[in-house]
Copies of this chain bind each other. A is one copy, B any other.
Amino acid sequence: MAIVYQPIGTVHTPYQSPDGMPVQASRSDNAPGTVVLDEAYVEGLADLEGFSHVILVCHLHLARPYRLRVTPYLDDVPHGLFATRAPARPNPIGISVVALERIDGATLHVRGVDLIDGTPLLDIKPWVGEFDEPEQVRLGWLEAARERKRESDDRFCTTGDEP
């Protein structure tokens, strides 16, 4: 069963390659970015500006082929792929929570992006704590490792243009 999606826009960021790119949005020192939606979808942005944060659902087009055991950016020992946020996944879908500063026509101005410039956008959703914020959270291996490492390297991404 093949599921076929089409990009609805493109994410523009200061990061031309994964070297030195922040690991996940919250770590990115509020890096600015823009999300340019295809004109056909602009009507769907109505009322979005009232939300402080949006979830960008993206196709991680530069992700390398996945492996089921990976050493993530945030640790030095391997973990199961689905226990990590590594971009190289069977379906390389990225979820980034970013701050929405303003919307000009088809362009969203955001802060806190952790995506490579040119990343295809699949969806935009408002971030809603009631849906997206659980209670009584445990973080497994990450609790010990979370402070160790802050920047990504190129272990999961190519720097070329292939999909």
- Which A residues are within 8 Å of any B CB, using their own CB? 1-8, 24-27, 41, 43-55, 57, 59, 68-69, 79-85, 89-91, 93, 95, 97, 99, 112, 120, 122-134, 136-142, 146, 163
Contacts and interface: CB of A to CB of B under 8 A. Distances in A.
Contacts of A123: 82, 89-91, 93
Main DSSP-derived SS at the A contact region: mixed
Given A3-B7, A91-B8, A44 B128 contact: no
A128 B85 contact: yes
13 contacts: A1-B120, A3-B5, A3-B7, A8-B91, A43-B69, A44-B80, A46-B79, A50-B139, A51-B142, A82-B125, A93-B122, A97-B132, A132-B133
A43 B133 CA distance: 27
> Taking the full assembly, how many copies of this chain does it contain?
2
Nearest to A24: B131
Given A4-B2, A85-B126, A123-B89, A99 B44 contact: no
A163 B1 CA distance: 10
Contacts of A3: 4-7, 59, 120, 122
Given A52-B138, A95-B95, A130 B83 contact: no
Given A44-B83, A51-B140, A57-B91, 18 more contacts: A1-B6, A1-B120, A3-B4, A3-B5, A3-B120, A27-B130, A46-B79, A48-B80, A50-B140, A51-B139, A52-B136, A52-B138, A53-B137, A54-B82, A82-B126, A97-B134, A126-B142, A130-B146
